[in-house]
Amino acid sequence: MLVLDRVGKTYPNGVHALGGVSLEVELGEIVALIGGSGCGKSTLLRAVAGLDPASEGTVMLDGERIGAPHEKIGIIFQEPRLLPWLKVSDNVGFGLGDRPKAERAERVITALRRVGLADKAGVWPRELSGGQAQRVAIARALVPRPEVLLLDEPFSALDAFTRTDLQDHLLDLWTDAKPTLILVTHDVDEAIVLADRIMVMWPRPGRIFDEIAVDLPRPRDRQSAAFDFVKRRVLTALDHSLNRTPPNTALEQRAEAGAAMWW
Amino acid sequence: MTIAAEGSLAQERSVGSRRSRFMRPALGLLLPVTLALVWEIVVRRGWASGRLAPPPSVIFSTFVDLARTGELQRDALVTLSRVAAGFGLGAVVATVVGAASGYSPTLRRLLDPSLQALRAIPSIAWIPLFILWLGIFEASKVTLIAFGVFFPVYLGLMGAIQSVDRKLVEVGRAFRLSDLEMVRRILLPAVLPAYVISLRAGLGLGWMFVVAAELMGASEGLGYLLIDGQQLGKPAEIVAAIVAFAIVGKATDWLIVLAAAPFLRWEDVVQHD
């Protein structure tokens, strides 16, 4: 289990990015963090990843304190960040440096098949499209079989069609080993399609404003009424979080009528 | 676009590139060859004396004469070995110091100011000092060349390491690479293109310094040929030596490019050489 206890982050320049976030994530759960810019969602993710450790509070995974990158935690960024001097197969196998060659080769080709890019194994990263590169990045992150996978707006740089494609693909990949997923996104649809729980954050400093459970069975139909209902709930919460007013019935009613303005 | 049309377009492109691969070096030779021809004609027609600026035919025959006696090869080899020794020494030291300064801010703050101050001194100014310290034979020449090679390589490598994409370094951190692994698996490959360029720049400077060193006192070498041609009033010999410099210098540069090419295939550039 991943436990965040009053995690806060103040940067050396004085910016108070995170103001005490507490969260418990069960193994195999998918949690989405959503909110406007400046609400600290990426900061929180990077604190869990150990890349920018928190200045207050603790992050614990299975009782072990996380203060630096950990082998059980993988991360995928907004850009694929493939190493351009390595072919696709070498990129995918990057995290397996200490394994015997045969095992590495086998796990790499399995991962590439899983993301549908087995034919691109010997190709340079510069020859891949954006969607393909991101799929290779996902394969690279999943190959070491992490317990927790962090995703920092992984599909925001892609076009809408590729995005929905990769969301479904990610869900498919997730069913293999069911790692815990923590996804940062500004795409509400993406959060609802993927997550068990959606944490709406509000900014300055970043805190959790609301928690919305998505109890729909997977695979989730983006066109269904139930999906729409959850979406309206999330949009309302986002709206409120930006106005920084606590939810009250009058506002709720206005929002239900479809007047919530996210963008 | 239909598949057939796409296929023919691809074919056109490959034929075009085959043609252009032949055209590229041919185009590079157009200017010098034209100028040489023009000068040859001008001297033959008697419009210019061709004494101080010999026409290509005279230069060529001087070249052949020097080669026949073996003098050209011997001088070229001597100069080449000086450049090789100086380049080897300068490049190795520059790589070590440049890599260290690039990676460690403390070391950089310690060393860089002094090195930048040394770099600002005009290179030729060092010759009298080196001759005094190291004599007029090989040691002072090789040291001077090494000195010249050092700065471009040091600067290039240090700058390249500092400019490595932070995003890629983070990938290394996310995969928990040790300091040594970080340098070996991420920093060094990332700086390789810039490093090769700095080596070529260093080599170019090495050739410049060997001329300076040989002009100051040598009994063999291409630089010696220059002085010899000047003292004996043989401009053709001077130009022949210059041509030899150009040929051997270009050949050494081409060797670096050739050696580095397989390690740079991954680069996302507009065009590979």
- Domain of B150, in residue numbers: 71-263
Assign A197 a pLDDT band (cuts: 50, 70, 90).
very high
Residue among B166, B176, B192 with most chain A CBs within 10 A, to mutate: B176
**Number of structural domains in chain B:** 1
Cβ contact, residue pair B170, A77, below 8 Å: yes
Domains and CATH numbers, chain A: 2-259 (3.40.50.300)
Within 8 A of A126 by CB-CB distance, chain B residues are 266-268
**How close, in Å, is residue A121 to chain B by CA atoms?**
14
ipTM over 0.95: no
Lookup result for tokens 């935690």: A73
Burial class of A125 by CB neighbour count within 10 A (0 to 12, 13 to 18, 19+): buried
Calpha distance A110→A214 (Å, rounded): 32
Whether residue B219 is predicted with pLDDT greater than 90 in this model: the reply is: no
Calpha distance B251→B253 (Å, rounded): 5
Calpha distance A59→A43 (Å, rounded): 13
Whether residue B6 is predicted with pLDDT greater than 50 in this model: the reply is: no
Are A166 and A137 in contact by the 8 Å Cβ rule? The answer is no
CATH number at residue B89: 1.10.3720.10
B181 interfaces chain A, CB cutoff of 8 Å: yes
Cβ contact, residue pair B173, A126, below 8 Å: no
Within 8 A of A71 by CB-CB distance, chain B residues are 176
Kindly identify which residue of chain A lies nearest to residue B192, measuring between CA atoms: A85
Assign A12 a pLDDT band (cuts: 50, 70, 90).
confident
Calpha distance A188→A251 (Å, rounded): 20
Cβ contact, residue pair A84, B265, below 8 Å: no
For residue B5, being part of any structural domain is answered with no
* Whether residue A219 has a cis bond before it, omega within 30° of 0: yes
Burial class of A115 by CB neighbour count within 10 A (0 to 12, 13 to 18, 19+): buried
How many Cβ pairs closer than 8 A exist between chain A and B? 45
For residue B58, being part of any structural domain is answered with no
pLDDT digits (tens, 9 = 90+) for A65-76: 998 999 999 999
Three-class secondary structure of residue B160 per DSSP:
helix
User: Angle at the Cα of A201 (from A195 to A204), degrees rounded to 5?
Assistant: 160
pLDDT digits (tens, 9 = 90+) for A199-245: 999 887 888 888 999 988 888 888 999 999 999 999 988 888 777 55
A146 interfaces chain B, CB cutoff of 8 Å: no
A77 interfaces chain B, CB cutoff of 8 Å: yes
For residue B1, being part of any structural domain is answered with no
**What is the β-pairing status of strands A30-35 and A16-25?**
unpaired
How many C-alpha atoms does B21 have within 13 Å on its Cβ side? 9
Kindly identify which residue of chain B lies nearest to residue A82, measuring between CA atoms: B168
For residue B230, being part of any structural domain is answered with yes
